[in-house]
Each structure stands twice: as C-alpha cells, then as structure tokens.
Structure 1
Amino acid sequence: MKNQQLKNQQLKNQQLKNQQLKNQQLKKKIKNRDLMNIEYYTEKGSLSKQKVKLDDSIFAFETNPALVHQVFVSQRANLRSGTASTKNRSQIVGSTRKIRPQKGSGMARKGSIKSPIQVGGGVTFGPSPRSFSKRIPRKMNRNAIKSMLSDKLSDKRLLVLDSKGSYDKPSTKQFSEMLKKLKIDSSCLVLTKNQDRSFFLSARNIKNVSMMTYDKVNVLSLLNNDWVIVLKDAVNSLEENLTSNIVRKKIIKD
C-alpha cells in the first residue's frame, strides 16, 4: 500500500515537472517570437511559403491543466438533464391504514402500504429532479480555451489552412485527400469563420471530423479532438472573440 502511494506521488511530481518544463519552453518561444509566425497550408495540403501571424496572448498562453479540468467538469455537468425522479412515501397514492395490529400476530410489525419496505411503497432517499449546472466566469472559460489552443500549437497539432475559393461545390474526396496529405489520421476539429455549405458538406461524411464556427469553440470540443484546423480567414475573428470585452446591455424600464 505504501509502495503504491509512493509511486503515485512520484508520478504526480514527474507530471508537475514536465508541465513546468513545458511552460518554460513556451515562455522562451514567446520571447523569440518564432511560434507566432507559422506557415499555413493550402487547400491541397501542401505547405505555403508564406506565414500567418498569430496573437501570442492566445496561442502562447501558459497552459493551466487545473483550469481546463474545471471548465471541462462544468460543461459536462451542464449537459446533464437531471430528470431522474422517484416517489417517496408521501407521494405514493394509497391508504395510511396500519396493515395489521402491532402485537399478537407473531410477525414483524408493519405500518402503511406506502412504507419503503413494502412492495410498491415509496423510495428512501431516491433521486429527484435537480439542476447540475455549474457557472464558470467568462474570463476563466476564455483562459481555458487559450490554454488548450496553446497546448495544441506547442504539440504541433494545430494547423492553419487556407481554403478560400477551393470548395465551390461539395467534394468529400478532395477533403479526404487533403487530410491524408496533412497526415491527420485521428479526430479533427475544423474552425471556420462562417457556415460555408460546400465546405461543411465536404467534411460531413468523414469519420472523426467535426466542424464549428469560431464563436462556438469550447474546451470540451478541443479535448475531444486530437487535431485542430483553423481556417486562415477565421484566425482574426477567433482572436477578436477571445480578447474582446463583452459588455452586457442593461435594459432600463421606465
């Protein structure tokens, strides 16, 4: 037992050291600015000679696994319906008459037929409808997304793709060949600027490929996919969405 606890502690210490080392390397890359000017890919899957500039406050954000886990748990909790329901003894329809006299029968004492120990009776401490929702501040949610994007980029699993004008009509074959040239053989998330029908239909029938607009990106979708492809025309919109200050309008009633 003690050996197992010691191994678990050593494993946690090693993971912490690896995370600290990764953050240090990320800070060095921020200073050199090499990470922020990356080459993007064409619609055919070939590497372009030109580069695209990325905002270091988003794509070079310090990774925070604890924050990512907190946001992930809240998203999973918000997906729960919370509709499980049972009836306790007060909600069961039936008589409250005592089944038999307390003494004299030689058998165990019994109350009403609504008792939890009776067949068809109420349930003791059963589930009832409740809300599992957890509120996460907008700043924490954004920082978690930045942390995930930075982690994907540092692991070379985030690519920028220029697909402007390449999908005039849907072509699953063209999209599949592009993924093969990019050597993407696992789950992939594609972030677009708008819902381009031809581009969406081209990827819809390919396994493990999901697509969403830049303003719908979340921690859960980033965790569920190994690769992230950001379209070149969606980079600026994604950066603005994660850095802009959203002010809620207050409605003043006369």
Structure 2
Amino acid sequence: MKVAVIDINGKETGRKADLSDAVFGIEPNDHAVYLDVKQYLANQRQGTHKAKERAEIAGSTRKIKKQKGTGTARAGSIKSPIFKGGGRIFGPRPRSYSFKLNKNLKRLARRSALSIKANDKAITVIEDFTFDTVKTKNFTAVLKSLGLENKKSLFVLAESNKNVYLSSRNLKSSEVITSSELSTYKILNANNVVLLESSLKGIETNLSK
C-alpha cells in the first residue's frame, strides 16, 4: 500500500511510503482486538476498592436483645449487615484485574487495528520533524496544518523526542508515543494515526515477528 508522505505544513513531499500489507492490509480479527482492548482497560484499574465486612467492624459483641418474646426477628450482633453501621455482605476486596494474553494474539490485534485505520484512510505519514524548544503552539500549528486541530490524534515516533512530547502534553486530544508503545486501544481511540516516516520500520519489525 502506497501512501503519500507530507511535511508538517501539510504539503506533499513527492515521496511515497510503502505500508506493508502484512501489517496494514490484513483482514481484521475482531475478537483479538476485543481481547487486547479489554486487557488494556483492565490494566488501568487500580483494584484498591475495599469495604468492611462483618468481622472487620468495630463494635460491641454483646447480644443486643433477648432471643424470644420481643415480637421481632432475633438479632445477635450490632455488626450484622442488616443494621445501619454494620458490615457489608460480600463487599469488594483489593484485587488485580489484569490477565495474560498470548504475544502473537496481541500482535494480531495491533495489525488488525492498523488495518482498520488504513481501510478508513485514517493513517497519515509525515516526514520526521522536531522542535528546537518546548512550545505547545508549535505542536498546535502542526495539527492545524494537518487538519487535526479538532480531532483525536495519535503521533507515532521512531524514538523518544522530549521537545515534541512535551509540546503536545497539554493537548488532551493529541498523544505522542514511540512505535514500541503502540497499543490496540490507542490506535482505535484516535480519529487519525500520524506515523512519522522513520517509525514505519520499527512498527513493521515489531508486528511482523
């Protein structure tokens, strides 16, 4: 698949990038995509929720009223879940929501996500760029040139670039990552995926294993 390479001003450079069909042109596997996104979201959960159960409530252990003759149901403890201030029945406990996935399945999911974006013509390839200083307006100017100022965008670099990353950090609708940080969720969550020319080799190498 051939895609025109443009510069940060939105103009064509005259070059074309070759997107591998093995990564950007496969038949998407919806179930693999579902599992990879599910794992990503599960890993974001802290799992620190906790409610006190009956045995953890501080309070008297005496029997609060006699067993018979009151005309009401018997009750043996003020810490019972049926009373205000009592413990919670089967309350949440700290736990990990993470689960494992096969590496090949995760690669398939990411290839599927990139293929979906490529099929929707939501992938843009631009030539490599950097900024001399950290300025949000520099990154905003790039977004405007590419017509992405009002859209969610994901910029994929070949390697970490501090100035580009910090210039984008204040913008909620844009995210800058390296090719090794690419995930199915981030690809699908963006309206447009912007690939720097030098990142293509890393993406194809990582996802073709």
- State the TM-score, normalizing by the size of structure 2: 0.90
Of the structure 1 ranges 131-140 and 204-213, higher mean CA displacement relative to structure 2 is found in: 204-213
SS in 1 for 2:14: strand
Equivalent residue number for residue 182 of structure 1: 146
Q: Give the 3 Å change call, closer, same or farther, for CA 119–173 of structure 1 in structure 2.
A: closer
- Find 1:83's aligned residue among 22, 41, 48: 48
- Find 1:150's aligned residue among 115, 119, 125: 115
State the alpha-carbon separation in 2 of the partners of residues 89 and 207 from structure 1: 44
- Find 2:4's aligned residue among 31, 39, 44: 39
For residue 170 of structure 1, report the CA deviation from its aligned partner: 4.0
Given the alignment of the two structures, is residue 160 of structure 1 paired with residue 125 of structure 2, yes or no?
yes
Equivalences for residues 85-100 of structure 1 within 5 A: 85-100=50-65
Q: Give the 3 Å change call, closer, same or farther, for CA 78–203 of structure 1 in structure 2.
A: closer
- Find 2:186's aligned residue among 201, 212, 221: 221
Q: Give the 3 Å change call, closer, same or farther, for CA 91–203 of structure 1 in structure 2.
A: closer
SS in 2 for 1:69: helix
For residue 145 of structure 1, report the CA deviation from its aligned partner: 0.7
Q: Give the 3 Å change call, closer, same or farther, for CA 171–104 of structure 1 in structure 2.
A: closer
SS in 1 for 2:89: coil
Equivalent residue number for residue 26 of structure 1: none
Q: Tell me the matched-pair count.
A: 208
Q: Give the 3 Å change call, closer, same or farther, for CA 174–114 of structure 1 in structure 2.
A: closer
Equivalent residue number for residue 6 of structure 1: none
For residue 176 of structure 1, report the CA deviation from its aligned partner: 2.8
Q: Give the 3 Å change call, closer, same or farther, for CA 162–91 of structure 1 in structure 2.
A: same
State the alpha-carbon separation in 2 of the partners of residues 201 and 190 from structure 1: 13
Equivalent residue number for residue 124 of structure 1: 89
Return the structure number with greater helix share: 1
- State the TM-score, normalizing by the size of structure 1: 0.75
**RMSD of aligned alpha carbons:** 1.9
State the alpha-carbon separation in 2 of the partners of residues 99 and 207 from structure 1: 56
- Find 1:208's aligned residue among 170, 173, 176: 173
Q: Give the 3 Å change call, closer, same or farther, for CA 205–91 of structure 1 in structure 2.
A: closer
Q: Give the 3 Å change call, closer, same or farther, for CA 114–203 of structure 1 in structure 2.
A: closer
SS in 1 for 2:74: coil
Q: Give the 3 Å change call, closer, same or farther, for CA 174–117 of structure 1 in structure 2.
A: closer
For residue 83 of structure 1, report the CA deviation from its aligned partner: 1.5
